[in-house]
Chains A and B, each alone.
Chain A
Amino acid sequence: MQNTSWVPFFPEQASTFAWQVDGLYLYLILISVFFTVLIFAGLLVFGIKYREREKYATGAEIHGSIGLETFWSIIPFIISMTIFLGGAIVYYNQQRMPDDATEIFVVGKQWMWKIQHGTGQREINELHVPVGRKIKLTMTTEDVLHDFSIPAFRTKFDVVPGRYTTTWFEATKPGKYHLFCAEYCGLNHSGMGGYVYVMEQRDFDNWLSGNVSGQTPVEAGNDLFNNKLGCASCHQQNDQGRGPNLAGIFGKDVRLTGGQIVKADDEYIRNSILNPQGQIVEGYQPIMPTFKGQITEEQLVQLIAYIKSLGGNSIEGTTTRTTTTTNTNTSGGNNMNSNSGTGGSTIRVPLPERGAANNRQGSNPNAPDITSEPTNRQR
């Protein structure tokens, strides 16, 4: 089914990481072959030359050599440092999230992958992505550890319950590639997988339009926030509510009761919904009930997407970044990249003032913009 790579025994190279990993791999193979030949030659030559010729003969009296010991300690050390550095660089490239990536949400569950695109398409055990576009995966799981692994991309990352992990890739070659769960997750572990379809942009657009697109995560989150879960009754779009106003909060530092300052990222919002008493914003009462058990991982992702869409970028002036983002309107500030350090200043919540842009976005971020968004994007 899959073509082989140009190097025998290699999996197909279908992402921008593939050549980096393969290059490092070839370098290590080279080193390994060198040392293997060296040691085997030593064993062979000494073994033949110095085999026993007379019973009970003794070998020469050689006890060692400081010079040789130093030599064969330092040379391998230097070589191992090149391996370390090479590995560190490739790892850094894979772990540093790009600013201009399209975000896709992944929720693992025994034993399937549930995938949610920013444009509203949902897939199970399949992932469709366009070629040549940076894709960032934000992942979590409903139950046990899983691992989202795409060998053709040389990409793999654990999916951990109770937190979000991220990874990214840029596919370079259209095709159908294996998607595996690589972390043992119980009974049907080996069945938890499917395929990644890398498509030319035009085909991908066809796929998008041919697929019934449900609510986008932001739309769904809006619905949860304002209707189903009733969050808006306390978290009002002004500072009069019993809870903090959430507009513009994403990616900012928040001061908690007790003076601790934390960044309002995915993880923080998630924890605040599931365990509200854990981190109380300064100036507010610990009155929020927990939503643990009442909300699924997918709904959490939607709520976070919605809160993220409530502006926040305008304050930091990161609008330049969002111009290249595929779903600018959907994900709003795109401050998922807060990990890479947007370095927002410490502000107190509730915010003293909000920009007009936030009001506009905050009230209803979706509707007409969203549906037209995919077509806007390709031009």
Chain B
Amino acid sequence: MQNVDTINSGYIEKPTNYLTNGYTLKSWLLTKDHKRIAILYLIVISIFFLMGGLYAATIRLELLTPQSDMLETQTYNKVFTQHGILMIFFFLIPSIPAVLGNFFVPIMIGAKDLAFPRINLLSWYLYMIGGVLTLWALMQGGVDTGWTFYAPYSTTFSNSYVTAVGLGIFVNGFSSILTGLNLIVTTHTMRAPGMTWFRLPLFVWALYATSLVMILGTPVIAITILLLAVERLAQIGIFDPAIGGDPILFQHLFWFYSHPAVYIMVLPGMGVISELISNFSRKKIFGYEFIAFSSIAIAVFGFLVWGHHMFVSGQSIYAGLVFSFLTMVVAIPSAIKMFNWTATLYKGSILFDTPMLYALGFLGLFLIGGLTGLFLGSMGLDIHLTDTYFVVAHFHYVMVGGQVIAYLGGIHYWWSKMTGKMYSEFWGKISAMLVFVGFNLTFFPQFILGYQGMPRRYAAYPEEFQVLNIFSTAGASVLGVGLVMPVIYLTHSLIWGKDAPANPWLLPGLEWRIPSPPPTENFETTPIVTWEAYDFTEESGLDLESARNKNKVTV
């Protein structure tokens, strides 16, 4: 996917598309085309994902034995911290919004570009500056505070590059805000004639909700990091009680952003899954409005539950009760989505291609991730479970089982549109299944470890926990193979893949009505939308009948 020139070589004879519209480095680095910016994001976040993955592999290898033997403890602490920071701030948060959202939101609503193409490019540069700053800090010596940066360890005690990494995340946050802003304005102002709010694909609804969280939440983490830097550099007491601060204040500020950030990391995934489930069942999605509004409900209620990270931190018992109650409430919209997705399959015509396998994997894993969230939201249980491997397993089921799986599903689903090439369906299915099996083998044992009491962020652990850790590491190697395979066969497809038709599955969405890859302007003429989302009837204008007949004749 990195080798753009090679992709383009096959297209000399064909009409210009966004990939063949300029070959110079400048034409990429100064592009205002949302599709090219999406590709720029895709390349960079893939690198960050790879780095984060290497850190994860290092963690799992170290935990193969109870002793802290492969790495020094100091190194281990840095490795898990940097795994978290890279994966969360530089992969998960931008993953679907900045790559798939950037590429497909304008196309799905019938627009030529995002509302602010220059700001879109600016947000990529901010992301790059933040990323480079962070990488520089990692090379200088890294950071060992945990991705949560809890004070006063981060402000007074840590001798690592806290401020530099904080600055990287601070700058990166603006990229996130600008992307969110762009997506919101685009959805409001750029919809094609006839594309009413309730004809929008649910992917657009999900990204709209995500963007709300991005622009409302991200400023808070920016302020928090700024205060942290002020205390660290100028010894002004904000969080450290030794100089008059309050460490619990840091936790409130941090989680006020970072809990909603969990929804930044899973709402877009839910949007992708709605697309996949409906389109691969060849049937209108069950309860469109309920899925759309449950995304908004999650975005709103997601802001009111941050205190459930602090049940044992010394906040008041009554605050805890309110946060626990609201945590239960925020679970309901996710449950509604889950039931609607399952009901969508009923009387469908289900196609089990690679993207659908990922979607079904998502349903299974996110179900477990969501249910175990109830365990942690239940205060009495949380006392025992918090800060153990149960939490680690839970959020990996949501973040990886949710967002990463959905992202992979989305990448496979739209790969032919983005690149104009078909990947190997055989290897796609194999890798989807390996990822599912490997993931469960890695993280399910961690639920048990957590209930047995193994604390998280431990470089060394008591011997009785070793057996389950071995299972987990074994699973991680299967998961690793499953995740590396797409890199290989997708890259392979760029060069040797078959040319993709405009609409390989005969789907009604607007993105499937333009060539693969799309021209720079997306649409020759502005489309007029007369059909509902996921409309597989005659009204959608798709000639399904003749496609079916043609298929019969050839068979």
**Which B residues are in CB contact (< 8 Å) with A158?**
312-314
**Which B residues are in CB contact (< 8 Å) with A77?**
328-329, 332
Tell whether, in the assembled complex, residue A21 and residue B349 are in contact, meaning their CB atoms are under 8 Å apart: no
The contact string, 1 if C-beta is below 8 Å from chain A, for chain B 245-271, is: 011100000000000000000000000
**Which A residues are in CB contact (< 8 Å) with B158?**
186
Does A2 count as interface, using CB distance less than 8 angstroms? yes
Task: From the candidates B288, B349, B374, B506, name the one contacting A63 in the complex (CB within 8 A).
Answer: B288
Which chain A residues (26-49) contact chain B, with CB distance < 8 Å? 28, 31-32, 35-36, 39-40, 42-43, 46-47
Does A187 count as interface, using CB distance less than 8 angstroms? yes
The docked-state distance in angstroms from the alpha carbon of A76 to that of B328 is 9
Given A43-B342, A64-B286, A163-B314: A28 in contact with B547 (beta carbons within 8 A): no
**Which A residues are in CB contact (< 8 Å) with B242?**
161-162
Tell whether, in the assembled complex, residue B312 and residue A156 are in contact, meaning their CB atoms are under 8 Å apart: yes
Does B17 count as interface, using CB distance less than 8 angstroms? no
A377, chain B: closest CB distance, angstroms: 29
Chain B residue, CB-CB nearest to A32: B371
**Which A residues are in CB contact (< 8 Å) with B547?**
56
**For chain B, what secondary structure do more than half of its interface residues adopt (helix, strand, loop), or is it mixed?**
helix
Tell whether, in the assembled complex, residue B336 and residue A69 are in contact, meaning their CB atoms are under 8 Å apart: yes
The docked-state distance in angstroms from the alpha carbon of A149 to that of B459 is 17
Does A113 count as interface, using CB distance less than 8 angstroms? no
Does B380 count as interface, using CB distance less than 8 angstroms? yes
Does A152 count as interface, using CB distance less than 8 angstroms? yes
B68, chain A: closest CB distance, angstroms: 7
Tell whether, in the assembled complex, residue B324 and residue A88 are in contact, meaning their CB atoms are under 8 Å apart: yes
Does A50 count as interface, using CB distance less than 8 angstroms? yes
The contact string, 1 if C-beta is below 8 Å from chain B, for chain A 174-188, is: 000010111111111
Which chain A residues (1-18) contact chain B, with CB distance < 8 Å? 1-2, 9-11
Q: Interface segment, A91-99, A280-288, A304-312, A355-363?
A: A91-99
Tell whether, in the assembled complex, residue B462 and residue A178 are in contact, meaning their CB atoms are under 8 Å apart: yes
**Which B residues are in CB contact (< 8 Å) with A28?**
371, 374-375, 378, 381
Task: From the candidates B240, B332, B463, B536, name the one contacting A58 in the complex (CB within 8 A).
Answer: B536
Tell whether, in the assembled complex, residue B345 and residue A56 are in contact, meaning their CB atoms are under 8 Å apart: no
Task: From the candidates B247, B283, B379, name the one contacting A91 in the complex (CB within 8 A).
Answer: B379
Tell whether, in the assembled complex, residue A46 and residue B348 are in contact, meaning their CB atoms are under 8 Å apart: yes
Does B49 count as interface, using CB distance less than 8 angstroms? no
Tell whether, in the assembled complex, residue A58 and residue B283 are in contact, meaning their CB atoms are under 8 Å apart: yes
Tell whether, in the assembled complex, residue B464 and residue A1 are in contact, meaning their CB atoms are under 8 Å apart: yes
The docked-state distance in angstroms from the alpha carbon of A186 to that of B459 is 11
Task: From the candidates B348, B367, B451, B455, name the one contacting A11 in the complex (CB within 8 A).
Answer: B451
Q: Interface segment, B129-137, B149-157, B177-185, B414-422?
A: B149-157
The docked-state distance in angstroms from the alpha carbon of A154 to that of B379 is 12
Tell whether, in the assembled complex, residue A181 and residue B455 are in contact, meaning their CB atoms are under 8 Å apart: yes
Tell whether, in the assembled complex, residue A91 and residue B320 are in contact, meaning their CB atoms are under 8 Å apart: yes
B444, chain A: closest CB distance, angstroms: 11
Q: Interface segment, A78-86, A236-244, A258-266?
A: A78-86
Does A160 count as interface, using CB distance less than 8 angstroms? yes
The contact string, 1 if C-beta is below 8 Å from chain B, for chain A 301-323, is: 00000000000000000000000
Q: Interface segment, B105-113, B383-391, B483-491?
A: B383-391
The docked-state distance in angstroms from the alpha carbon of A149 to that of B345 is 46
Task: From the candidates A21, A68, A83, A188, name the one contacting B374 in the complex (CB within 8 A).
Answer: A83
Task: From the candidates B144, B349, B381, B537, name the one contacting A186 in the complex (CB within 8 A).
Answer: B144
**Which B residues are in CB contact (< 8 Å) with A32?**
368, 371-372, 374
B252, chain A: closest CB distance, angstroms: 13
Task: From the candidates B311, B368, B377, name the one contacting A36 in the complex (CB within 8 A).
Answer: B368
Does A73 count as interface, using CB distance less than 8 angstroms? yes
Tell whether, in the assembled complex, residue B548 and residue A54 are in contact, meaning their CB atoms are under 8 Å apart: yes
Does B352 count as interface, using CB distance less than 8 angstroms? yes
Does B396 count as interface, using CB distance less than 8 angstroms? no
Q: List the 7 closest pairs (A to B, CB-CB), nearest first.
A: A90-B380, A162-B241, A151-B453, A59-B283, A87-B378, A91-B379, A59-B348
Q: In the complex, given contacts A56-B506, A83-B377, what are 20 additional A-B residue pairs having Cβ atoms less than 8 angstroms apart?
A: A32-B368, A36-B371, A47-B345, A51-B352, A52-B349, A59-B284, A59-B536, A63-B284, A64-B288, A68-B339, A68-B343, A80-B328, A86-B380, A91-B317, A91-B320, A91-B380, A144-B150, A144-B156, A161-B247, A190-B455
Name 20 interchain pairs, CB-CB below 8 A, sorted by A. Answer: A9-B451, A11-B452, A21-B384, A25-B451, A54-B548, A59-B536, A60-B348, A72-B335, A73-B336, A80-B328, A80-B331, A83-B374, A83-B378, A87-B380, A87-B382, A95-B317, A156-B383, A165-B314, A182-B455, A186-B158
Q: Which residues of A contact B (CB under 8 A)?
A: 1-2, 9-11, 20-21, 24-25, 28, 31-32, 35-36, 39-40, 42-43, 46-47, 50-65, 68-69, 72-73, 76-77, 80-81, 83-84, 86-95, 110, 143-145, 147, 149, 151-152, 154-158, 160-163, 165, 178, 180-191, 275
